[in-house]
Structure 1
Amino acid sequence: MTLLATATTETAPFDAISEGICERNSDVMFMTADLQPYVDLFAVPKRFPDQFLDVGMAEQNLLSVGAGISKAGYVPVATTFACYASRRAFDQMVICMGTGPRTCVVVGFTPGITSPARIHHQSTEDLAMTRAIPHATVIDPADSTEFAQAMNAAVERGGLVYMRGLRGRVAKLFDPETYRFEIGKTHELKDGGGVGIISTGSATEWVLEASRLLDEAGVEHGVLHVPTLKPARHEEIWAFCEGRKNVFTVENHNIVGGLGGLVAEVMADNGGGPRLKRLGVPDHWAPGGSLGYIREQLGLDSETLMKTFRDAA
């Protein structure tokens, strides 16, 4: 069983993830731009000072320096908030990191609407931006288990990897004993006909909440989790969609260019398919506030999601 019987949480998983990577690989360099405690990097600076670099409050330098040290044989893992990694340092990500074969990992924390601040700290377009970079790998992990396994894969991947990061109290949905992350692979979390629901990242937790409500209401449905936005296994996405009347995508991101865009591309390439409804941040700026409040404002709370899916069943 991929999913835990009861979902739990894990505090600051990136701290243990980064420490474990340094224990196994002395070539990995964890980097930050004056945000070390805010991306849960606590153990590495103390235990592995030679594998930690703080460039100060300069995100463009963070990525360009990371690209530079990759040429000296290091594997840079550049950590900052997703809004800064994507919008502020996008040119450095593309030109300095994205044009070569060397492994460069960028981890963007507080993605989407997970920040209580408004536009300046909300990265609702980072997946669309990074999906457009040639040869890049783009990952949006759903929980602490997947985050750990995806990080281990990222530092061995080769080329540019952009990954959304999870900090603080993080959901633990998947059983680490049975779940296996693999770049590109999708995971069918509920095998069922009727309405199809496709999610990525933290939105998978939202969908699973709504799925339980659908089960209680006796509504047939299926759930597909897509942690890798690029490269994605289009054939697995199409196999899930084919034969259904309605498919929804749910993401902690703008509905333009992210998961919804990926699934729309898959349907177009295969010549049609079911009706697709993209759920996420609409084509306007998201409000500020708690995650629960923002989800309610955008119709992404579990009750509203359940009703939306039920009405299309």
Structure 2
Amino acid sequence: MKRSKYTRPAWLGEQGEGGQGTADKPRLTTSAMIASLAGPDQRTAPAPFGHALAKLAEERPEIVGLTADLGKYTDLHIFAQKHPERFYQMGMAEQLLISAAAGMAREGFQPFATTYAVFAARRAYDFICMAIAEENLDVKIVCALPGLTTGYGPSHQATEDIAIFRGLPNMTILDPCDAHEIAQAVPAIADHKGPVYMRLLRGNVPLVLDEYGYTFELGKAKTIRDGNDVLIISTGLMTMRALEAADALRQDKIDVSVLHVPTIKPLDTETILREAGKGGRLVVVAENHTVVGGLGEAVAGLLLRSGTVPKAFRQVGLPDEFLDAGALPTLHDRYGISTNAMVRSIREWL
């Protein structure tokens, strides 16, 4: 995978956006829709989902790609360029997108359907339920802008998508952390026969987990780093933030363990119970999702049912409210999911 040593900071916006500025004083802007989540000088990889799917399709002729007028913004345009005869542009019609994907799956194809997470969860839920999940069809629903990854406000912020799909039988749910994991998750979900909902980070996606020798396995949680004082159970981009918080807290002689949980359903109960059962540690669940109905409540319910009682249990997640529009760095700090906000919270809880 080609890697970039530098990516524009999110607050500078996308290339060619936000005015001219000068060489030494660029105009400070943000792209609320597709701003990169990578920090200054953080390694990134471009469009990992699109490249991984296009490569996989070279050896799997049954793979087809469908989108609801969002090929560029879900990185499916890369698949379309490589395999134009297997790409279907359904227009701004999410219910049609899902129905067509279901029909193709019945005919032996393996559809990868992309849209924004809010549109899949809110506009197309009944079609996903009745046409795909109930029939246990082999459709992969891959959705960009999960949680608070856009500044366009409640119409585009899918803060409750995991809660919605967790209650749907037969549905496997993934929230990958970075480009390294997305690239590995694509062939893994293709090997899995049945419906999958995968949250997608798109564009220039940070590279983090490759530095830890991480390998994705569907349904498995893995300890990225160990520590004796705090256990952070995290998913999605919050694993990146958890690792950054662990480095910052080390300066305070606070030893932090990070358990990455990319598969929300089915949950790796054995690994979570084993790690949470190690006595004396504060257990913190961190997710880019509302605190209602996501990984935090899934873990809390698991611990209660098993009789596992940690030293203390806390959640880092989005509040149960409609969030503001604005620049992502500001919003992440305001709603408690930035690295600095997580560090402040853990210090207070200890």
CA distance in 2 between counterparts of 1:43 and 1:304 reads: 36
Specify which of 205, 223, 226 is matched with residue 240 of structure 2: 205
CA RMSD of aligned residues (A): 1.6
Q: Secondary structure at the match of 1:127?
A: helix
Specify which of 1, 9, 12 is matched with residue 47 of structure 2: 12
8 Å Cα contact 1:142/1:203 also seen in 2: yes
| Residue 225 (str. 1) matches residue 250 (str. 2) | no
| Structure 2 counterpart of 1:276 | 313
8 Å Cα contact 1:100/1:159 also seen in 2: no
| Structure 1 counterpart of 2:327 | 290
8 Å Cα contact 1:81/1:108 also seen in 2: yes
| Structure 2 counterpart of 1:146 | 181
8 Å Cα contact 2:242/2:339 also seen in 1: yes
Deviation at 1:272, TM superposition (A): 4.1
| Structure 2 counterpart of 1:109 | 144
Deviation at 1:80, TM superposition (A): 0.4
Q: Which moved more, 1:244-253 or 1:137-146?
A: 244-253
Deviation at 1:11, TM superposition (A): 1.8
Deviation at 1:50, TM superposition (A): 2.0
Structure 1's unaligned 5+ residue stretches are 1-5
| Residue 91 (str. 1) matches residue 130 (str. 2) | no
Deviation at 1:239, TM superposition (A): 1.1
Q: Secondary structure at the match of 1:120?
A: coil
| Structure 2 counterpart of 1:191 | 226
Letter in 2 for 1:268: L
Larger-Rg structure = 2
Q: Secondary structure at the match of 1:135?
A: coil
Cα separation, partners in 2 of 1:160 and 1:45, compared to 1, 3 Å = same
- 1:120-145 CA-partner distances (Å, limit 9, x unpaired): 00001111111111121000000011
8 Å Cα contact 1:145/1:176 also seen in 2: no
Letter in 1 for 2:303: M
Specify which of 159, 173, 179 is matched with residue 208 of structure 2: 173
CA distance in 2 between counterparts of 1:16 and 1:59 reads: 23
CA distance in 2 between counterparts of 1:241 and 1:99 reads: 34
Q: TM-score, normalised by structure 1?
A: 0.94
CA distance in 2 between counterparts of 1:193 and 1:177 reads: 19
Letter in 2 for 1:301: S
Deviation at 1:200, TM superposition (A): 0.3
Specify which of 41, 45, 51 is matched with residue 80 of structure 2: 45
8 Å Cα contact 1:33/1:56 also seen in 2: yes
Deviation at 1:156, TM superposition (A): 1.7
Q: Secondary structure at the match of 1:24?
A: coil
Number of matched pairs: 308
8 Å Cα contact 2:228/2:281 also seen in 1: no
- 1:93-115 CA-partner distances (Å, limit 9, x unpaired): 11101012331100010111101
| Structure 1 counterpart of 2:338 | 301
Letter in 2 for 1:269: R
Deviation at 1:195, TM superposition (A): 1.7
- 1:246-265 CA-partner distances (Å, limit 9, x unpaired): 21111110011111011112
| Structure 2 counterpart of 1:78 | 113
8 Å Cα contact 1:113/1:122 also seen in 2: yes
Q: Secondary structure at the match of 1:286?
A: coil
- 1:69-106 CA-partner distances (Å, limit 9, x unpaired): 10000001100001101111011111101012331100
CA distance in 2 between counterparts of 1:122 and 1:254 reads: 11
Q: Which moved more, 1:157-166 or 1:297-306?
A: 297-306
Deviation at 1:189, TM superposition (A): 1.3
Identity within the alignment, %:
37
Cα separation, partners in 2 of 1:312 and 1:177, compared to 1, 3 Å = closer
Deviation at 1:295, TM superposition (A): 0.9
CA distance in 2 between counterparts of 1:192 and 1:281 reads: 25
Q: TM-score, normalised by structure 2?
A: 0.85
Cα separation, partners in 2 of 1:204 and 1:308, compared to 1, 3 Å = same
| Structure 1 counterpart of 2:59 | 24
